[in-house]
Amino acid sequence: RLTQVRWSRYNPSYIEPEVSKELYEKPWEELSEEEKEKLELKAVRPVKAAPATVSSSVFSDPMISKFTNMMMKDGNKVLARSLMAQTLEAIKRTQLEKYHKAPEDEKEKIECNPYIIFHQALKNCQPIIGLSSITKGGKTYQVPVPLKDNRKRFLAMKWLITECRENKNRRMLMPEKLSQELLQAFNNEGPIIKKKHVLHKMAEANRAYAHFRWW
Amino acid sequence: MAAAAGRVLRLGGRWSAAAPGGPGAQVLRLIYTTTAAQRKNVGASGPEKYTEAFIKKQIEEFNLGKRHLANMMGEDPETFTQEDIDRCIAYLFPSGLFDKQARPMMKHPTEIFPEQRKIQWGEDGRPFHFLFYTGKQSYYSLMHETYEKLLNVQKYQDQLTAQGLPSQKEKRNLAGGRWLTKIELEEMLLEKLSDDDYSRFIQLLEKIVTLPCGDIEEKYIQKFSIEVPVQLQKAVIEPLKYDERGVAFSTGEGTRKTARATAVVHDNGTGKITVNGIDILHYFPVLQDREQLLFPFQFLGRVGKHDMVCTVSGGGRSAQAGAIRLASANALRSFVTEKEVEFMRQAGLLTYDPRVKERKKPGQEGARRKFTWKKR
């Protein structure tokens, strides 16, 4: 090979930018040792430009951006973003309806913030253990394997999106279906939670092959 | 004279001459050596390609050619540096080739012919180095030496604790240096290394550095680390200008892909932003672009305090937004303290984004996508 495949236009010495304002508002004395070292390193190295999806405002959330990108088709970011906004609005509407109909003592338990619902729903959908196919002695076994954080998040998001795209009525729009799925996942019910439990059961059933894993 | 200069000239580092060394063989046979892009260590692979006598002859010819060149150009042969040689060759043989290595060059033979390993056994066939039969003698002897230093450091540390003195830890400048890369290490040792070997060596070096008394072996470790020159070009921040009404303003420029933008940020404003004479709500209907425009202001906490008038041309929707963001961040540097400028830099607001569309390659459908693989 003449050139490497994984390369970027930046020099390898460039560091990722840190956008959140809180780190910069802390005074010097409150920083821990590691953070001080990191700051020193940052002062010397050049920094990459912040991408267009990221901003320091309260409304930009890395999880939401990741989910929007996964929902995007053919690079139509405008559509994906509007769908996401409509989903969050739909969640808020349903929760507000429930809130106004509920009796006084249950009003505090209803969660109205769509961002919190989204994060909690994703967390509930994440599998803890996954299966990986390992070929040994001619036969392929499904071996239970611990998953990395990134992989868990990716699987949760992927399941959500495929579920919403396939199992819906012809007339139902994506934001409505997504909001329903998210609320169900928030309450630990629904088809995606079921899928996660099925995966866990398969992993439990294949416990015998766990020693095939070498990493 | 021209012939002498011609013999010494080499067409870049790609084609090198080898004299077979036989009697009367003056014919220069061109051998294709590896290009700079592949950077294989020629010195480590295989036995000697050039004899010492050949190199000596090349050096003499080079010096002779240098004096001839100086005479030709009317300069003093005694004080003729390498820069002068490069200048004169560029003048005599102008080349429009893009690859610098492909242009005609005249350099000292040690820079053109890479260093090689000498023959490692004597006349009786007995190897000189005791680790010859390991296959990678210089690598293993280096590992032995480094481990010896580690043991020294540990012994010194034990001595200090036995005497009850505290072990001093002076903080090494982490940010200032980097370790040698695998290729540089291979060039130093004149031997091929595997990635595993290289990572083991670096781990050993890091271990010595992290020990409290590691500074004793500082000199030895410095051989393997390179000082990264801290050349953060402190761009000159222009002072604020004042217009007729006495309001402070400053200008900034920014680019992204093909979009060019200039922004004029006024003080004492209401947060109105105008692009090419049109309000941003009409020019950028997409929320993401408007977020990007307001990003520098929001980061500094000055959302409603400045007015901005910008002009932008070229590029697409997102590229224009990115260009204006960079332009406004550059303009805001004049309004803000140095510490905040440093914070903006660390947030990635002041760097030019070099990402552009990757070219399509021949034999593939796009930049990365390959044609559909068909079995037959």
Q: Which residues, numbered 30 to 69 in chain A, qualify as contacts with chain B under a Cβ-Cβ cut-off of 8 Å?
A: 37, 40-50, 52-53, 55-57, 59-60
Taking CA–CA distances from B284, the nearest residue in chain A reads A78
CB proximity B322 to A under 8 Å? yes
B166-191: pLDDT as tens digits: 666 665 655 567 788 888 899 888 88
Give the per-residue pLDDT at A57: 84
CATH for A61-212 (1.20.1300.10, 3.30.365.10, 1.10.455.10, 3.90.45.10): 1.10.455.10
A67-100: pLDDT as tens digits: 999 999 999 999 999 999 999 999 999 999 999 9
Q: B34 pLDDT exceeds 70?
A: no
Instruction: For residue A47, give the nearest of B291, B351, B354 by CB distance.
Output: B351
Find which of A16, A19, A38 to mutate to test the B interface (most B CBs within 10 Å of its CB).
A19
Q: B9 pLDDT exceeds 90?
A: no
B300-330: pLDDT as tens digits: 988 889 999 999 999 999 999 999 999 999 9
CB proximity B176 to A under 8 Å? yes
Domain ranges of chain A: 18-58, 61-212
Q: B87 pLDDT exceeds 50?
A: yes
Q: Which of A63, A22, A52, A45 is nearest to A157 (CA)?
A: A63
Mean pLDDT estimate for chain B: 83
CB within 8 A of A136, min separation 6: which ones? A212
- Chain B residues whose CB is inside 8 A of the A78 CB are 286
**How many residue pairs bridge chain A and chain B with CB atoms within 8 Å of each other?**
83
Q: B57 pLDDT exceeds 60?
A: yes
Find which of B291, B300, B320, B344 to mutate to test the A interface (most A CBs within 10 Å of its CB).
B291
* DSSP state for residue B237 in the 8-state scheme: P
Q: What is the mean pLDDT of residues A181-187?
A: 93
ipTM above 0.90, yes or no: no
Give the per-residue pLDDT at B4: 44
Q: How far apart are CA A122 and CA A126, in angstroms?
A: 6
Q: Which of B230, B290, B302 is nearest to B266 (CA)?
A: B302
Q: B1 pLDDT exceeds 60?
A: no
Going from the C-alpha of B187 to that of each of B41, B114, B190, B375, the distances in angstroms are 6, 9, 5, 43
Q: What is the mean pLDDT of residues A159-168?
A: 90
CB proximity B228 to A under 8 Å? yes
Q: B207 pLDDT exceeds 50?
A: yes
- Chain A residues whose CB is inside 8 A of the B320 CB are none
- Tell me if B348 and A40 make a contact (CB, 8 A cut-off): no
Structure tokens at B304: 């409603």
Q: A66 pLDDT exceeds 80?
A: yes
- Tell me if A44 and B232 make a contact (CB, 8 A cut-off): yes
Instruction: For residue A40, give the nearest of B175, B286, B345 by CB distance.
Output: B175
CB proximity B351 to A under 8 Å? yes
Find out whether A114 and A91 touch, Cβ atoms under 8 Å: yes
Q: B121 pLDDT exceeds 60?
A: yes
- Tell me if B299 and A49 make a contact (CB, 8 A cut-off): no
Q: What is the mean pLDDT of residues A152-179?
A: 91
Q: A3 pLDDT exceeds 70?
A: no
Give the per-residue pLDDT at A187: 92
- Chain B residues whose CB is inside 8 A of the A19 CB are 299, 347-348
Tally Cβ neighbours within 10 Å of residue B367: 10
- Chain A residues whose CB is inside 8 A of the B37 CB are 2-3
Phi, psi of B370, rounded to the nearest 5 degrees: -95, 165
Q: How far apart are CA B361 and CA B371, in angstroms?
A: 11
B147 pLDDT band, cuts 50/70/90, is: very high
Q: What is the mean pLDDT of residues A160-172?
A: 87
